Structures are given as structure tokens and as C-alpha cells.
A and B are shown apart, each in its own frame.
Chain A
């Protein structure tokens, strides 16, 4: 081996690297994406929220917590509902008691009130996700079908992504000590089921489907409604499409 030339050494190293990648890397990718019969390249997931239909019952928040075992404390949420209250003198108040999980009590003082409405919030599954950019270990990534996910076995819990997310959609899991967020119920949608929040929504505020299929509920929603996304000026290109939001909603 002492006679190994520089060229041969580099060649061997390259082959060894390919072999190691071949053994380890694809397995991880396969486990995440190549689920029975699920064709990842035929999907691009999108999500619609029709604010004019939301009644603030919080069934989505409850369903998300049950399905994904999100800690029950009132500051850990993968999705939550905010109530916007606009008053005279351009005063805007936003509240979300327990993430809206137990519903909202009616506003008592209606004197100064101009309007009030509910806005469900969650990860926006951006096309240009800032969280993916800042992750120092590559634990946060965007899947081929457009879902921003966290690999908890890679995450070191540094919280950069939590800071970077302009939508406040991430939290540090108190037991696992890793970043946690909405996965669009990836374990459900890859089996042909709907995310738990969509399943639980009683008023069809929440719409979900494949953006690559012209007849999917989300494609129809985008065609039929006047669509906005949150904070479009940031260039994150969210795939959560809102209908009926006010200028005050961020």
C-alpha cells in the first residue's frame, strides 16, 4: 500500500465514499419517501384555508395534538387558531387562548369593534423555506412532494430554524429536544388519507390536495377563490393558500 500513487489513493477514496453513501444514505431516503405504492414525483402537496368559513371551534388544533402527540401545554402547537379583532383608531388585537383548542369566548366589549374573524395558522411549507437554509446539520429539508420536514435523528436542537421561521410555526419539543412542526400529517397523506386537521374541520375551512392534479380539492380551491399567502414580500412562496384574509393578517 506504500506504493499507492496520489491518483490511485484519490480513486480508492472516491469509491469508498460512494460505497458508504450507497449503504447508508439511500436507506434513509427510501424509508422516508418510498412508501408502499406512493409515487412521490406525482405529488406536490398544497393546502387551502378559507377564513370566511372558520368558526374558531378548535377541532383542528385538537385533532393535530391527538394525531401527532403534540405536548398538551398551551404553548406547543403544530397548528393553532388566532382571533383578529379590529377596533376603532386602527387598533388590532390578536388572541389565541390555548391555541384556540377550547374555542373562543364571545367578545364582551363590542363598542369599539369594527370586525373580528378567525385565522387558522400552521407551517406554510414554503417553496423557499428559510428554516431549511439556516439548519446547520441538514436535519430540516423539503421533500420532493413539497413538504418541509425535520429528521429528528439529525436535529441537534439548536433552534436556528425556530428563529428563522417568519410564521412562528416551529417549537422545540420539550422531551425529544428537537425542532418539531407540522408535517401535513406526512404519515397519513402518503397513505391516501387527509391531514388530521382537515379531517376534523367541520366547516371545510381547511382544504387539502395535490397541486399537480387539476381536479384535486386544492386545485379547485385555488381556481375558484381569490388567493393570498402570508408575508408574500419575504419571497418564501408559501404553499398554504388563504382566501378571505384581511390586510392586518401576518
Chain B
């Protein structure tokens, strides 16, 4: 049953990235764990040279934040065509703050 793990869990990120962890824990993204955006990172905890992914561009953010009638009404959503099309979300929004 020694099945390999792939997700390390957010607590293990804190050991090295304390500053990021602190700003994240006060941010609006505080319910979103590190590996939700940065993908499974257990290998990174064993060997820091193996980098986890970093979502670039708009596509990943829009998975959650694209306007969709089926989503809960109080969830923050934008119309991708109307809200600065073509621009990277991270140019204006810091996901860790």
C-alpha cells in the first residue's frame, strides 16, 4: 500500500515560503490551497530544483472567475470579453494579496 503521494498539502509549503504564506493567509484567496494553482508539488518539497507550475495568462484564472450562470451568484466573476481582453490578470491583480 505504499502508494506514492503527489500533493504535498499546503502546510508543507509554509516551511520554506513563510512570507508568501503569511500574505496568502490574509488574502481573498485564503481558502485556495497552494497546489490548487501550482499543481501537485510533493516532488518540489523533496527537491527544490523541481519547480511547481505557475499559471500564466488568463485561461487559468478564468476557470474560476469567468462569468457563468451556473456559478453561485456571490462568487466574483468577470465577463472575459468585456474585462480587459487580452491582458494578463496578474498585471493588475496579485493572487497572493
Contacts and interface: CB of A to CB of B under 8 A. Distances in A.
Chain A partners chain B: yes
A116 B7 contact: no
A199 interface: yes
A57 interface: yes
Interface in B57-82: 62-64, 66-72, 75
Given A66-B40, A110-B69, A188 B7 contact: yes
Interface residues of A, number: 40
B10 A199 contact: yes
A196 B71 CA distance: 22
Interface stretch (A17-25, A100-108, A170-178, A230-238): A100-108
B3 interface: yes
A58 B6 contact: no
B70 A52 contact: no
Contacts of B63: 57-59, 102-103
Interface in A151-200: 186-188, 191, 193-194, 196, 199-200
A107 B67 CA distance: 10
Interface residues of B, number: 27
B49 interface: no
B5 interface: yes
A103 B63 CA distance: 6
A117 B73 CA distance: 11
B1 interface: yes
B6 A117 contact: no
A72 interface: no
A212 interface: no
B31 A55 contact: no
Contact of B6 (A103, A107, A196, A201): A196
A66 B69 contact: no
